[in-house]
Chain A
Amino acid sequence: MRPDPIPLSRLQRLALTASSFLLLVVATMALGPLIAGSGWWWLCAFVAAGTLFSGAGLRALRTPASLVPVLELVVMLLLLTLVFGGSTSIALLIPTQGTFETFGELLTGAQRTIEQQSVPAIPVPPLLFALALGVGVLAVFTDLFVQTFRMPALAAAPALVPILVPGFIIEAGAETPTLVLTAAAYLLLLRIDVRVRRHARLQAGDEGDDAATIVPPKRVPIVSTLGASLGLAAVGLLAASVLAASTPSVSTSLLLGSPSQGTLFARGVSPFIDLGRDLRRPEPRPAFHYFARDADRPYFTLLTLDRFEGEVWGATDAAVDGDNTVDAMPRPDGLSAEVATSEHPIEVVVDEVRTTWLPVPYPTSRIEGLSGSWFWDEGSLAVRSVDTNTGGQRYEVTRLEVEPTVAQLRDAGRQLPSELEASLEMPDEVPAIIAETAAAVTAGATSPYDAAVAIQAFLRSPDFDYSTEAPVADGYDGGGFDVIAQFLEAKAGYCVHFASTMAVLAREAGIPSRISLGYTPGTPTQERVEGMQRVEVDSHDLHSWPELYFEGIGWVPFEPTPGRGSVPGYSRPGAGDETGPTLPSAAPSTPGSTGRPELDPDRALSGQSADTLASNAWWQRTVPIALLVVLLLLLPAALRLVQRSARRRNIAKGRRPADAAWDEVIATARDLGTGGDATQTPRAVATAIGERAAFREQAPAAALLSLRDAVERERYGPGNGSALHDEALEQLSLVRAALIEGATPVERARAALVPRSLFDAARGVLGERPSGDA
């Protein structure tokens, strides 16, 4: 489509820019439900304003229209540098190479944070960067549509982008008020465009002798037209709202399934049930090491699973709360002041483990020295990142050591806080053997604690074997209640089975339970730094264990897996008979070497699995990008095909058939790089084309000449021209074939893929068109 040739004044351009800015900013508000706070919106507005209004300024300075979008992108870059470049930039605005490196890191961080964060996301810098970049690019496109192409109706396309996003991520989608506001802003843009266009045309008048002189009235009130516009918009929006509200929901979401938060939820650590897939990994990989006092050998928790539903057990999907920074973590749930606690510092250095979950002991009172944004989850106190991972982290954990006595545990009340009821939930259909086993094991228990100890003792009894092979061989590897039932019959499995069985049995017995996934304390080395012993943790130390809740003490770990980790002192049978507090971490000095079987199954979370994940991700990323690139490259060819078929249709329908045919001949000649200047007369073009070797033959030459005659008759002759459409089509095919025949294969390929005629037309559209009030 041709651009509107009427030049606009600066004020008119400014009005258009302002309304497109309003549209974009209001549309960005649709992202509100996804992102916490409102600072991000102001940033987006800032970038959009900078980009759009710089475009208006450039046009006021009569910058060539084709340069404006490029310069707008430059302005956007400067703004991004100002906001995100920090110390790497020169004079806060000029980006350096370091700035671009920062931008690259921010972009990868943004990708991660989009994968990892759940709704509402915390506006960490990488996310902000991605938002600002996206809004800037949308602003450039909006400006292109509104000002360069002068088709403001197309500004709907960029505005739809931020509006469509929430619908795919959260169930509710964008909020209705925002949508209505966006529609109103869009209508405002259309209205301003109509007014601006009318005024510009009225001022410019028409060229030529036949142009009319128009003497408008001197003053015209705009109030009444304003009323009409508002009324029309109101009726339209109201009608749309009513229609939308009354449309029944036809859910045919076969393609995507119901959109859920899962798409944003962390994928860094597979839920524990997937561990079985990565069973056979020969060499242990160092996960991390830590420095701690001799007595500090805690379990390191990565994440906690508390929903026992279906095949895949998972953590409760909770949004990351931006206030939960790790420098001050709360006291664990249910821990009363009576229980003895002490704080111990542990310095952790991550080696190869790459997850978004931080290995920390439970409970922890604070973590220092982390890079990136890390937040703790309510309840489980698991620490996760929204924009980075554990790679290269070195941090100091202040561990809160809880030392309950057996008496305290035994006396724990049966009254549970209501928020813990979720930790007692069981699905309706549970295999009978689970309930029977739970009843049999806990028959003699007088308190929840006794029941827990009895369950642990039952699972640690010689009847149960630690085996990584049996579950796979018998086909009950994985998770779910059926697997537990089979495990209870076969009595062979590994930590996953023991932990989940104990957790389920505890719930049957009325004790809230959950499963923690993480690492056993690891293997101490001889190295000591300032009185702290260095302990190595590798992928073979990966483990899972149940945690049970006792009122007044909180979540207490148990160890039902035979031969793994260390059994807490309070959970040994008969521990209550002892006097004094037990040492929960009364571990053997080398727990890993003694307690660990030769073939450790729990190596799933090692660095290598991260590698496979990464390679998967690489594939997932590369294939769509490659497809996109191929599609983009094929776009000109497709456009050219569409153009050709449109012309053929015109010929067939008799809408200036000879003209259309001749245009196609010229375009083909241009594509092939053999002349075909549209400014020449048909006769000159025909002469030029006719000199080619392929036209020495009779048929193509005759077709060319008759096409030429037809177009001359149609253009310069009187009245209705030739009506021989089929003939024109045939002649066109002949001439095209002859043209293509005379070209080299390279020329042909170029003509098909990079049609020059199309680019000429595009250049015409984007061509030098002076802006401003000429």
Chain B
Amino acid sequence: MWRPRSVKVAIWPRLTRRGATLVIVGVLLLALSLWFDLRDILVLAFVGIAMPGVAALFVALRTPRLAVTRRFAPPVIAAGGSTLVALVVKNRSRRTFDGAHWRDGVPSGLASAPEAILPAIGPYESMLPAGDDTVRLEYRLRMPRRGVFQVGPLRVGISDPFGLARIDRDVGNGHEVVVTPRVTPLDAALGSAASVDGVLNGLQRRTHPNSDELIAREYRYGDPMRRVNWAATARRGELMVREEEQRGDPEARIVLDTTLAGRPKSSAYRREGAEDTHFGFELGVEVAASVGMHLLERGFRVRCDRVDDPERSLLSEDSGAGYRMPGGDHLLLEGLARLEQPSSHPSSRDVQHAPAHASGPRGREARMPGFAVLIDPDEHDARTLVALRSTFEPAVAFVTETVAPSVIEALEKSDWRVVRVRRAADIASAWAGSAAPMPSSAPTAVSSTAGAASPDLFTTETG
């Protein structure tokens, strides 16, 4: 691990303000001495001219040998949080390394620690290390935005002993730090054990009629009555209940609008400031993260798909089978963190195929909860969602302000429950609104058809 890393020149030697002033003074003195024939001053004039040049040569020729390790604590941060970056700089040269400043390279838009003094580091101690060849640096890095950021390499500015010239070198490599989207804790309304249990168990029983043989176990105190498996009880002569419902493999799908196909007409909504950050898109990612985490905690297997191509997984290829606990939450968040904002030209639109029906319509019994997060879909996306409606139960669409009214209308017509989200603080209430039976006057406007569909979700089905 302690291997000298490459030391590259980031900025070529240049004179400091002091060095430049010295050169100017030297030139003035030279002119003065030549004009008045003061040959004695000539020496000083050339000191002024030559000294910065020699200093620049010095810093250019003197290559430091440094090894840098960087650690983040914590390595994964939620957006808006901060991480402590710990650097260990080790001198691998036989000479003392002095006269340097350091500054860790961070992507633009992040505020890094200001340039600070790198203390003198003693020569490399191959034997009896006393730690005098090591400097530890720590600084707190604030991460306001979701994404994966490259921190580093360490930029070391080396000046000569007289402060006349300076060179900037990059030491070591950069490291990635993952900033996950913020997750809003959601009410347990939807994911309450009862409802999930009921829906999914019913599903499973229909798909695998014999499974109850395999999963029955003895009744233990506290098992709900509705879990009693009457068939097994009859056979075994004692009270049997169904085994854990995880076996039922509950699944939910989140369909995220990643292409922002309707973008050209709504570019006015882009907020300036945080450059290249689409506010709506970030909000959508946050909604998806919150919902996804919520579902994962409730034991669902969660699939994240793209709205323009629901059979393609949104995040990475190996997540096609969906995320599940344990570990799925980290993967989901990291995947969402890596999710790049779509380029301004929706080029993915060339794969124009009828998506929803390709896999064939599933039966009513194969329905699973479906959540669409729409930021700026176009008509094509709307058609896809309408086609998918039949496989989802319930089907909730979280829409941001930028979604076109025509799309919302189309969704509502096809019995999607549309919930509007304006900002991150709305997510919890929107979620609650999506779960509760909606009066039409609620701020998160829900179409009457979607409202009518919702009770299905919460009905307890016993098998």
Q: Hey, which bits of chain A sit against chain B, CB under 8 A?
A: 153, 156, 160, 163-164, 166-168, 172-176, 179-180, 182-183, 186-187, 190-191, 193-194, 197-198, 201-202, 206, 209-225, 228-229, 232-233, 235-237, 239-241, 243-244, 247, 249-253, 255-256, 258-259, 718-719
Nearest-Cβ distance from residue A205 to partner chain B, whole angstroms? 8
- Tell which of A168, A175, A183, A223 touches B44, judged by Cβ atoms closer than 8 Å: A183
Q: Is the CB of B38 within 8 A of A173?
A: yes
Nearest-Cβ distance from residue B378 to partner chain A, whole angstroms? 29
Nearest-Cβ distance from residue A5 to partner chain B, whole angstroms? 13
- Tell which of B37, B117, B138 touches A251, judged by Cβ atoms closer than 8 Å: B37
**Distance of A679 Cα from B140 Cα, bound (Å):** 31
In the complex, which residues of chain B have a beta carbon less than 8 angstroms from the beta carbon of A201?
Answer: 116-117
In the complex, which residues of chain A have a beta carbon less than 8 angstroms from the beta carbon of B159?
Answer: 194
Which residue of chain A lies nearest to B32 when distances are taken between CB atoms in the complex? A164
Of B51-59, B310-318, B388-396, the stretch lying at the interface with chain A is B51-59
Q: Is the CB of A239 within 8 A of B46?
A: yes
Q: Is the CB of A240 within 8 A of B51?
A: yes
Which residue of chain A lies nearest to B96 when distances are taken between CB atoms in the complex? A224
Which residue of chain A lies nearest to B54 when distances are taken between CB atoms in the complex? A236
B200 in contact (CB, < 8 A): no
In the complex, which residues of chain B have a beta carbon less than 8 angstroms from the beta carbon of A180?
Answer: 43
**Distance of A216 Cα from B102 Cα, bound (Å):** 13
Which residue of chain A lies nearest to B114 when distances are taken between CB atoms in the complex? A206
In the complex, which residues of chain B have a beta carbon less than 8 angstroms from the beta carbon of A176?
Answer: 40, 43
Which 7 residue pairs are nearest across A and B when measured between Cβ atoms? A173-B40, A718-B273, A216-B119, A167-B38, A240-B46, A212-B139, A229-B161
**Distance of A255 Cα from B55 Cα, bound (Å):** 36
**Distance of A175 Cα from B44 Cα, bound (Å):** 12
B137 in contact (CB, < 8 A): yes
In the complex, which residues of chain B have a beta carbon less than 8 angstroms from the beta carbon of A225?
Answer: 96, 98-99, 120, 161
- Tell which of A221, A241, A251 touches B122, judged by Cβ atoms closer than 8 Å: A221
In the complex, which residues of chain A have a beta carbon less than 8 angstroms from the beta carbon of B41?
Answer: 163-164, 167, 173-174, 179
Q: Is the CB of A224 within 8 A of B55?
A: no
- Tell which of B21, B54, B140, B272 touches A239, judged by Cβ atoms closer than 8 Å: B54
- Tell which of A172, A209, A243 touches B40, judged by Cβ atoms closer than 8 Å: A172
With A225-B96, A232-B54 as contacts: A166 and B132 at CB distance below 8 Å: no
- Tell which of A202, A237, A253 touches B117, judged by Cβ atoms closer than 8 Å: A202
Nearest-Cβ distance from residue B93 to partner chain A, whole angstroms? 10
B22 in contact (CB, < 8 A): yes
Q: Is the CB of A218 within 8 A of B99?
A: no
Which residue of chain A lies nearest to B85 when distances are taken between CB atoms in the complex? A212
- Tell which of A206, A214, A247 touches B119, judged by Cβ atoms closer than 8 Å: A214
Can you show 23 pairs from A to B with CB atoms below 8 A apart?
A: A156-B25, A167-B33, A168-B38, A172-B40, A174-B40, A179-B41, A191-B162, A210-B114, A212-B137, A213-B139, A215-B135, A216-B119, A222-B96, A222-B120, A224-B95, A225-B161, A228-B98, A232-B58, A240-B46, A244-B42, A252-B34, A253-B36, A718-B274
Which residue of chain A lies nearest to B93 when distances are taken between CB atoms in the complex? A224
With A216-B119, A249-B37, A253-B35 as contacts: A243 and B50 at CB distance below 8 Å: yes
The winner among A176, A214, A223, A235 for most chain B CB atoms within 10 A is A214
A201-B116, A213-B137, A225-B120 are known contacts; what are 16 more A-B pairs with Cβ within 8 Å?
A: A167-B36, A168-B38, A174-B41, A182-B44, A202-B119, A210-B113, A215-B136, A216-B120, A217-B121, A220-B120, A222-B96, A228-B58, A236-B55, A256-B36, A718-B274, A719-B275
Which residue of chain A lies nearest to B18 when distances are taken between CB atoms in the complex? A153
Query: Which B58-95 residues have a C-beta within 8 angstroms of A?
Result: 58, 62, 95
Q: Is the CB of B135 within 8 A of A244?
A: no
With A153-B21, A201-B117, A212-B113 as contacts: A217 and B134 at CB distance below 8 Å: yes
Interface residues as binary, B117-159 with A (CB distance below 8 Å gives 1, 0 otherwise): 1111111000000111111111110100000000000000001
B160 in contact (CB, < 8 A): yes
Q: Is the CB of B43 within 8 A of A183?
A: yes
**Distance of A167 Cα from B32 Cα, bound (Å):** 11
Q: Is the CB of B135 within 8 A of A216?
A: yes
B163 in contact (CB, < 8 A): yes
**Distance of A240 Cα from B26 Cα, bound (Å):** 11
B186 in contact (CB, < 8 A): no
Q: Is the CB of B50 within 8 A of A239?
A: yes
In the complex, which residues of chain B have a beta carbon less than 8 angstroms from the beta carbon of A236?
Answer: 47, 50-51, 54-55
In the complex, which residues of chain A have a beta carbon less than 8 angstroms from the beta carbon of B36?
Answer: 167-168, 253, 255-256, 259
Which residue of chain B lies nearest to A226 when distances are taken between CB atoms in the complex? B161
Nearest-Cβ distance from residue A264 to partner chain B, whole angstroms? 17
B111 in contact (CB, < 8 A): yes
**Distance of A514 Cα from B138 Cα, bound (Å):** 87
Interface residues as binary, B9-26 with A (CB distance below 8 Å gives 1, 0 otherwise): 000000000100110010
Query: Which B427-463 residues have a C-beta within 8 angstroms of A?
Result: none
Q: Is the CB of A220 within 8 A of B117?
A: no
In the complex, which residues of chain B have a beta carbon less than 8 angstroms from the beta carbon of A228?
Answer: 58, 62, 98, 161
In the complex, which residues of chain B have a beta carbon less than 8 angstroms from the beta carbon of A190?
Answer: 18, 162-164
Which residue of chain B lies nearest to A258 when distances are taken between CB atoms in the complex? B37
B39 in contact (CB, < 8 A): yes
- Tell which of B34, B38, B132, B162 touches A229, judged by Cβ atoms closer than 8 Å: B162
B45 in contact (CB, < 8 A): yes
Which residue of chain B lies nearest to A216 when distances are taken between CB atoms in the complex? B119
Q: Is the CB of A244 within 8 A of B98?
A: no
Nearest-Cβ distance from residue A165 to partner chain B, whole angstroms? 10
Q: Is the CB of A244 within 8 A of B117?
A: no
With A210-B113, A253-B37, A259-B36 as contacts: A244 and B142 at CB distance below 8 Å: no
In the complex, which residues of chain B have a beta carbon less than 8 angstroms from the beta carbon of A172?
Answer: 40
**Distance of A239 Cα from B29 Cα, bound (Å):** 16
With A187-B162, A210-B113 as contacts: A163 and B44 at CB distance below 8 Å: yes
With A176-B40, A217-B121, A224-B123 as contacts: A212 and B47 at CB distance below 8 Å: no
Q: Is the CB of A218 within 8 A of B132?
A: yes
Q: Is the CB of B46 within 8 A of A243?
A: yes
Q: Is the CB of A244 within 8 A of B22?
A: no
Q: Is the CB of A166 within 8 A of B40?
A: yes
**Distance of A209 Cα from B34 Cα, bound (Å):** 55
In the complex, which residues of chain B have a beta carbon less than 8 angstroms from the beta carbon of A160?
Answer: 29, 44
In the complex, which residues of chain A have a beta carbon less than 8 angstroms from the beta carbon of B21?
Answer: 153
Query: Which B324-362 residues have a C-beta within 8 angstroms of A?
Result: none
Nearest-Cβ distance from residue A320 to partner chain B, whole angstroms? 23
**Distance of A538 Cα from B132 Cα, bound (Å):** 88
Which residue of chain B lies nearest to A198 when distances are taken between CB atoms in the complex? B117
Nearest-Cβ distance from residue A561 to partner chain B, whole angstroms? 44
In the complex, which residues of chain B have a beta carbon less than 8 angstroms from the beta carbon of A250?
Answer: 34
Q: Is the CB of B22 within 8 A of A217?
A: no
Q: Is the CB of A232 within 8 A of B43?
A: no
Which residue of chain A lies nearest to B25 when distances are taken between CB atoms in the complex? A156
Q: Is the CB of B54 within 8 A of A179?
A: no
- Tell which of B40, B96, B111, B137 touches A221, judged by Cβ atoms closer than 8 Å: B96
Nearest-Cβ distance from residue B112 to partner chain A, whole angstroms? 8
Q: Is the CB of B137 within 8 A of A240?
A: no
Which residue of chain A lies nearest to B42 when distances are taken between CB atoms in the complex? A244
**Distance of A167 Cα from B275 Cα, bound (Å):** 61
Q: Is the CB of B136 within 8 A of A255?
A: no
- Tell which of A168, A235, A249, A718 touches B54, judged by Cβ atoms closer than 8 Å: A235
In the complex, which residues of chain A have a beta carbon less than 8 angstroms from the beta carbon of B119?
Answer: 202, 214, 216-217, 220
Which residue of chain A lies nearest to B88 when distances are taken between CB atoms in the complex? A215
**Distance of A210 Cα from B116 Cα, bound (Å):** 12
Q: Is the CB of A206 within 8 A of B116?
A: yes
Q: Is the CB of B40 within 8 A of A194?
A: no
Q: Is the CB of B47 within 8 A of A194?
A: no
Q: Is the CB of A232 within 8 A of B55?
A: yes
Q: Is the CB of A252 within 8 A of B35?
A: yes
In the complex, which residues of chain B have a beta carbon less than 8 angstroms from the beta carbon of A156?
Answer: 22, 25
Interface residues as binary, B214-232 with A (CB distance below 8 Å gives 1, 0 otherwise): 0000000000000000000
The winner among A156, A179, A236 for most chain B CB atoms within 10 A is A236
**Distance of A217 Cα from B135 Cα, bound (Å):** 6
In the complex, which residues of chain A have a beta carbon less than 8 angstroms from the beta carbon of B113?
Answer: 206, 210-212
Q: Is the CB of A217 within 8 A of B54?
A: no
